[in-house]
C-alpha cells in the first residue's frame, strides 16, 4: 500500500535539504481517488496516516516565497514529469544536479548534536583566514539507481567545474551503468553554475561531454524559486547533512568520509571525489562560440528545456 502511494507521488515531491522533511502537491483526497482507479480502495484519512509513515507532514506557513515566482511554474513541473517518465521508460539515465553551500574546512562549529560524554571543542569564531580551505560540493543523484556522487572542489562553483564533475561521473560510473545509453536527462536549478542562462554551461556540456562521448544531453530547469523540488535536495543533500551533523569538517578527507558513509533505508549509496583545480569566475562566452553549439530547444518553455546533440564522431 505504501509503495503504491509513494509511486503516485514520486513526481510531485519536494523536501527540505536541511531537515529532510518532505511534502507533496497532491491532496489526500486526490491520492485516494487515484488509488481507487488502480483497484485499491482506501479513504483519504487512511492515506494521511500512511504517508506520515514515510516522512510526510502537514506544512505550516513559512516566509520563503520568491518574488520572481513564474506564471509557468506548474507548466514546467508537468514538462519535467513527462520528460522523466519518457527517459525512465526507455531505460535512459535521469540525474538531478545541484551545488550545496560551501563549507569551511577546519575545526569550526557544525550545526547538530552527537552523542558523547564531553562537548566537542571548536573555534569560537568562523574566520575564513583560519580555515584550511573551502569545500565546494557539486553533486548529482542518479534517480533510477539511487546512487549519488559528490565532487568537492577547492576553488569556485563555475560551469567548468560542474561539467568537469559531470564528465568524471560519466567516465567512472554513468557509461558503465548505462552502456547502451545514447542520451541523458539532467534536472537542474535555474541559476548558478548550471543555470538556464549560463552560456558557459552549454559550451562546456558540448565540448566536454556531448561531443567526446556522442551523448545527447537534455536539460530541464526548475522554475525560479523552486529548487526544493529538485530531487537531489531532499533525497541526497539532506541525508549528507544529517550524517555529519555536529561533526566539525576539520579536513577534506573528513568531509569526503562523511559523504561516502551516507546511506538510507531505501538503499541510497554515495560516492565522493576531491576535485582540485582552479576554476576562475567571470569568464565570458562570445556569441561566435554560442552559435557553434548544436542546440535544439523544446517547443514547451524553450528557455528552460533544451537538448545539446553531438557535432562530431563518437570516440
Residue 9 has pLDDT above 90, yes or no: no
Give bridge partners of residue 141 from the DSSP assignment.
96, 148
Quote the pLDDT of residue 66.
53
Determine the Cα–Cα distance for residues 20 and 153; give it in Å rounded to an integer. 24
Q: Sorting pLDDT into bands at 50, 70 and 90, what band is 6?
A: low
Question: Are the CB atoms for 144 and 88 separated by under 8 Å?
Answer: yes
DSSP result, 275-297: E-S---S-----HHHHHTS-EEE
Domain boundary assignment for the chain = 2-53, 73-308
Quote the pLDDT of residue 25.
56
Residue 251 has pLDDT above 50, yes or no: yes
Residue 311 has pLDDT above 70, yes or no: yes
Task: Collect all residues with Cβ–Cβ distance below 8 Å to 201 and sequence separation of at least 6.
Answer: 159, 162, 163, 193, 194, 195
Determine the Cα–Cα distance for residues 274 and 51; give it in Å rounded to an integer. 38
Quote the pLDDT of residue 260.
97
Better pLDDT: 286 or 315: 286
Residue 60 has pLDDT above 60, yes or no: no
Determine the Cα–Cα distance for residues 160 and 278; give it in Å rounded to an integer. 10
What percentage of the chain reaches a pLDDT higher than 90?
A: 67
What's the whole-number average pLDDT of the chain? Answer: 88
C-alpha cell at 273: 571525489
C-alpha cell at 135: 569545500
What is the homologous superfamily of the domain 73-308 according to CATH?
A: Ribonuclease H-like superfamily/Ribonuclease H (3.30.420.10)
Residue 16 has pLDDT above 70, yes or no: no
For 279-305, how does the pLDDT look when each residue is reduced to its tens digit (9 = 90+)? 999 999 999 999 999 999 999 999 999
Let me know if 61 is exposed, middle or buried by CB neighbors in 10 A (0-12, 13-18, 19+).
exposed
Task: Collect all residues with Cβ–Cβ distance below 8 Å to 290 and sequence separation of at least 6.
Answer: 199, 202, 203
Residue 89 has pLDDT above 80, yes or no: yes
Residue 2 has pLDDT above 50, yes or no: yes
DSSP state of 298: -
Determine the Cα–Cα distance for residues 310 and 42; give it in Å rounded to an integer. 49
Task: Collect all residues with Cβ–Cβ distance below 8 Å to 160 and sequence separation of at least 6.
Answer: 200, 204, 279, 283
Q: How many CA atoms lie within 13 A of 274 on its CB side?
A: 13
C-alpha cell at 264: 538510507
For 117-128, how does the pLDDT look when each residue is reduced to its tens digit (9 = 90+)? 788 888 888 888
Q: Which of 36, 38, 32, 37 is nearest to 51 (CA)?
A: 32
For 101-141, how does the pLDDT look when each residue is reduced to its tens digit (9 = 90+)? 999 999 999 888 887 778 888 888 888 888 899 999 999 99
Question: Are the CB atoms for 26 and 9 separated by under 8 Å?
Answer: yes
Determine the Cα–Cα distance for residues 76 and 170; give it in Å rounded to an integer. 27
Amino acid at each position: 500500500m505504501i509503495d503504491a502511494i509513494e509511486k503516485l507521488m514520486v513526481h510531485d515531491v519536494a523536501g527540505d535539504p536541511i531537515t529532510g522533511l518532505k511534502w507533496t502537491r497532491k491532496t489526500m483526497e486526490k491520492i485516494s481517488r487515484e488509488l481507487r482507479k488502480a483497484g485499491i480502495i482506501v479513504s483519504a484519512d487512511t492515506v494521511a496516516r500512511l504517508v506520515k509513515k514515510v516522512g510526510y507532514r502537514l506544512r505550516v506557513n513559512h516566509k520563503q516565497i520568491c518574488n520572481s515566482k513564474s506564471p509557468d511554474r506548474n507548466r514546467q513541473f508537468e514538462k519535467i514529469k513527462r520528460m522523466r517518465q519518457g527517459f525512465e521508460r526507455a531505460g535512459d539515465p535521469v540525474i538531478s544536479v545541484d551545488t550545496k553551500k560551501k563549507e569551511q574546512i577546519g575545526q569550526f562549529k557544525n550545526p547538530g548534536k552527537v552523542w558523547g560524554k564531553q562537548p566537542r571543542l571548536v573555534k569560537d569564531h568562523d574566520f575564513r583566514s583560519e580555515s584550511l580551505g573551502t569545500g565546494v560540493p557539486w553533486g548529482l543523484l542518479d534517480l533510477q539507481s539511487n546512487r549519488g556522487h559528490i565532487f568537492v572542489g577547492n576553488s569556485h562553483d563555475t560551469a567548468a567545474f560542474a561539467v568537469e564533475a559531470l564528465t568524471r561521473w560519466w567516465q567512472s560510473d554513468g557509461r558503465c551503468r548505462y552502456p547502451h545509453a545514447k542520451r541523458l536527462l539532467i534536472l537542474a536549478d535555474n541559476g548558478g553554475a548550471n543555470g538556464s542562462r549560463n552560456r558557459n554551461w552549454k559550451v562546456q556540456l558540448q565540448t566536454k561531454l556531448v561531443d567526446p562521448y556522442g551523448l545527447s544531453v537534455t536539460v530541464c530547469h526548475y522554475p525560479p524559486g523552486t529548487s526544493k523540488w529538485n530531487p537531489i535536495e531532499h533525497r541526497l543533500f539532506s541525508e549528507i547533512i544529517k550524517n555529519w551533523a555536529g561533526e566539525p569538517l576539520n579536513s577534506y578527507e573528513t568531509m569526503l568520509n562523511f559523504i561516502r558513509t551516507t546511506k538510507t533505508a531505501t538503499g541510497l549509496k554515495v560516492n565522493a571525489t576531491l576535485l582540485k583545480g582552479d576554476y576562475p569566475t567571470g569568464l565570458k562566452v562570445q556569441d561566435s562560440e554560442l552559435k557553434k553549439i548544436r542546440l535544439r530547444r523544446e517547443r514547451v518553455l524553450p528557455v528552460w528545456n533544451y537538448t545539446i546533440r553531438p557535432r562530431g564522431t563518437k570516440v
